[in-house]
Structure 1
Amino acid sequence: MELNRSLQKAILNVLSNHYPDTMDMGTLKLRLPPDFSDCQNLVDGTVQYFIEHGLVECQTTKLTPSSQHQGRFYKATAKGLDFLADDGGLSSILGTVTVKLHADTIRDVLKAKIMESNIPPEDKKRFIDTLKDLPGEALKTFTNKLIEMACDNPQAVFSSLMKFIS
């Protein structure tokens, strides 16, 4: 099956416009814009692809005495709606990760780097002693400055990242 991004967007748009209601496959195909009439054979596969990625869910109903409809009905999921949103929807807000580093962790990393460096041993001792006595707020300010320096040299950051992940 070929992946057609325009068709994918059209399918999700149709389903999102009817959210939270469900829609059967026939109605979904009828609601697609006319320029997708030649893609009708791809719709089933694309919807299944979305189901596997959690962007669409399928609800199967059975014929009962009180219901005249039986079959499969589809609707966009919250993940599908967020996928369409320019800003990533609530997923981007709820998926935010906050990283907190304890002052001792930062000190340990800096100490290790000082010890690995080629500076004279007496300077190493002086730097490490200063680092031990540095108050938490000063360490925070210093760490922010180090991050700013790294951002001012994106090529060095990229090189370090490549070494880290390889």
Structure 2
Amino acid sequence: MQLDRTYQRELLNTLAAVYPDRLDHRAMLQRLSPDEVKRYCANMVYLDEHSLVDSALEYGDKSPRAALPRITGKGMDFLADDGGLSSILGVVTIKLHEDTLKELIGQRITESDLPASEKSKLLDQLKSLPGEAIKHLTLKLVDAGLANWPIALQAIEHFVHAPK
């Protein structure tokens, strides 16, 4: 196999140096041996398949025709130490409405071993809590879960290994 991570990084860095322009690599390709051209093409196609470059390679009957390649935004982000815009745009924000949090917490209270009268009292108190209090309670519950790390770790392992 002709795929080479170090060579791929060299290709990406070369393309990044002329970004946003395309790289005129025709003179370089003429100097390469047939095996080196094959290596170049294999790695450029691989990078293209992962959307890191627009290789503009076309395969004819005898040899590939190479138009001028260009690094993509995704390729630039790949080279960036901080992940570039992809790391910012790829952030997932989870928002839970206060009613949802009350429902989740209330469900745990209902499922608990507490006497029915205590459950009822806690559920009534939970329903009357304002949004800021629910936010604070949720953070405390997350802290409590993480403080009980062995059980939290088991829950994580169960979740990630559960069939999708």
Question: With structure 1 as the length reference, what TM-score do the two structures score?
Answer: 0.78
CA shift in 2, pair 1:117/1:2, >3 Å: farther
- Report how far residue 84 of structure 1 moved: 0.7
Deviates more, 1:73-82 or 1:14-23: 14-23
- Report how far residue 28 of structure 1 moved: 6.1
Q: For residues 82 and 95 of structure 2, what CA distance do their matches in structure 1 show?
A: 25
| Matched residues, number | 151
Q: Which of 42, 45, 48 lines up with 2:45 in the alignment?
A: 48
- Report how far residue 102 of structure 1 moved: 0.5
Per the alignment, residue 13 of structure 1 pairs with 13
Q: For residues 129 and 50 of structure 1, what CA distance do their matches in structure 2 show?
A: 58
What stretches of structure 2 of length at least 5 have no aligned partner?
59-64
Letter paired with 1:58: S
CA contact (8 A) 1:14 1:28 kept: no
Per the alignment, residue 80 of structure 1 pairs with 75
Q: For residues 113 and 27 of structure 1, what CA distance do their matches in structure 2 show?
A: 69
What stretches of structure 1 of length at least 5 have no aligned partner?
31-37, 62-69
Q: Deviations over 1:2-34 (max 9, x none)?
A: 54221221111111111111124545669xxxx
Q: Which of 82, 94, 115 lines up with 1:120 in the alignment?
A: 115
- Report how far residue 126 of structure 1 moved: 1.6
Per the alignment, residue 134 of structure 1 pairs with 129
Letter paired with 1:56: V
Please give the residue correspondences for 1:15-164 in structure 2 after superposition, counting only pairs within 5 Å: 15-26=15-26, 41-59=38-56, 71-164=66-159
CA contact (8 A) 1:15 1:28 kept: no
Deviates more, 1:136-145 or 1:154-163: 154-163
Q: Structure 1 stretches (4+) deviating beyond 4 angstroms?
A: 24-30
Q: Deviations over 1:66-92 (max 9, x none)?
A: xxxx85111110000000111100111
Question: With structure 2 as the length reference, what TM-score do the two structures score?
Answer: 0.79
Q: For residues 16 and 152 of structure 1, what CA distance do their matches in structure 2 show?
A: 46
User: What secondary structure does 2:92 align onto?
Assistant: coil
Q: For residues 56 and 106 of structure 2, what CA distance do their matches in structure 1 show?
A: 58
CA shift in 2, pair 1:59/1:43, >3 Å: closer
